[in-house]
Amino acid sequence: DTSPLADVLEALPTTVELMKALTETNSNKAVCLLCLDTLKASLERAGSHTQLLLSKVVPFLIEALAASEDRSLAYTQFHAESLGYSQAQFESARVALSQRLDSTH
């Protein structure tokens, strides 16, 4: 018999790869959010043991975050300076918007 934590740690690398594949091949935001929620639950269960998987998890989360953002943000970021905003100002506004959206969910 193995412990539930051992089961999670064993399944986590496969879970990360599956969630990554699902989000890369599916443009449905609900599916992507479900994948992120599943990954979050797995990581919470694994606790501090997730350090072993950070090299796989962090790039996936960055990609998932970028994919979940409105496409117009990427366009606006590219043109921010020509619109009179520095990259730092744009990033600050992007973070503030993200935090506001998170607080409404």
The separation between CA 53 and the C-alpha centre of its own chain, rounded to angstroms, equals 15
Where are the chain's structural domains? 1-68, 70-105
Per-residue pLDDT reduced to its tens digit, 13-66: 888 888 878 877 877 778 878 888 888 887 887 777 777 777 778 887 877 777
pLDDT top residue among 97 and 81? 81
Q: Read off the pTM.
A: 0.53
Q: Is the model's pLDDT at 89 over the cut of 80?
A: yes
**Packing angle of the helix pair 71-79, 87-104 (nearest 10 deg):** 160
